[in-house]
Amino acid sequence: MMGTKKNLNIELIRIIAMMMIVYHHFFAHSKWVFSNEGSVKEILIQLVGSFGKIGVILFILITGYFYTKQHFSLKKIILLGNYGRFYSFLSILIVVIFSNITIDKRNILEALFPIEFQLYWFLTAYAILYFFQPFIKEALMKFEPKQMLRYTSFFILAAYTSTILGGLFKFEVNYYVPNVILFFLIFVFSGHLIRIYQKDILGKYFMFVIFCFTISFCLILLRPFILMHFSSIDFPNFFLIGTESMNALIFGISLFLIVLKIPVQNNRICRYSSQMIDIYLIHDNRLMRQFIWIYLFKNRELIDNVFFYFMIIIEPLLVFLVCLLLSYSRIYVFKKIRFFHEKSVKYIQ
């Protein structure tokens, strides 16, 4: 029973993470133009879109949580590539039929090799992380929990110190930021440690979790005001909310733990959690980004709409639900392919 409850909590985290990502893409890809800089509408849009990278952190924390329980299979990477291919060509089909957006040879090439051409940056990074899973898993199982805690703490300090120093001294034009795979490893190690120390953290240390959640959440809410009132300081774009932000990591881990603590009894919502990757692959395809946020909804014109405050809540939710419905097309097609494949093998035999 406990195992079931724990799994339902994890599935709920997946859904929360994907909702965060969809709302972030609503903010990031709509190409907003605000006539009054620092207006209430601009601040509200920024707040709605502040949690996308934290959604990414949550997904990789889940990966780390189950990392030592998983068995590597090359078929999983191939399957991820097939998912990417299916939705890339589905996106091309939708764009060709319902819009005047131009399709070129590069779009076709990226659709054929979505992981190799980084059509989806998360999919490529995740495939690399999964490819090295056997070696990372061996390392995780080799160290004692206290050793793993020390090494992860040092790893976090080294990676995030470099981002802070890079932001302060501007070592490069876009600041010094380690590769995203490095941060994914940190999230995997953190998820692994959550599983090891879960009982203690959710017990005697839970009030500390609530404290960390409250402080980090308040900093995220204050981010637009900090950027506005300290405009003379050139803050890095990941300030407080990016995968490279220590505050985002603290918020992501504390939110993860709080959801683990919640008693989840009903699995009606959680049963859709396996389709969260589908929602990501549909709505964050480069062509679909333009089609959804620019061509279909025309969000640049939404600023002066009388229903503006209503739409910033409903529109991303509508995209989430429509993508969820579209995900059944992939399930149906893949099921038919498996059926005909098995039938062909039996016929040949």
What is the distance between the alpha carbons of residues 319 and 177, in angstroms, rounded to a whole number? 32
Helices (H), 36-104: 40-48, 52-65, 74-98
Query: In this predicted model, what pLDDT tens digit does every residue of 236-269 receive, in sequence order?
Result: 888 899 999 999 999 999 999 999 999 887 777 7
If DSSP codes are grouped into helix, strand and coil, which group holds residue 206?
helix
What is the distance between the alpha carbons of residues 2 and 198, in angstroms, rounded to a whole number? 13
Whether 1 shows a pLDDT value over 60: the answer reads no
Nearest-5° Cα angle at 73, 18 to 121: 40
Whether 171 shows a pLDDT value over 60: the answer reads no
Whether 58 shows a pLDDT value over 50: the answer reads yes
Which of these ranges, 33-37, 90-94, 95-99, 126-130, has the smallest mean pLDDT? 33-37
Which of these ranges, 189-203, 218-232, 315-329, has the smallest mean pLDDT? 218-232
Exposed, middle or buried by CB within 10 Å (0-12, 13-18, 19+), for 95? buried
Q: How confident is the model at residue 176 (pLDDT cuts 50, 70, 90)?
A: low
Whether 100 shows a pLDDT value over 80: the answer reads yes
Helices (H), 66-175: 74-98, 105-112, 121-131, 133-142, 145-169
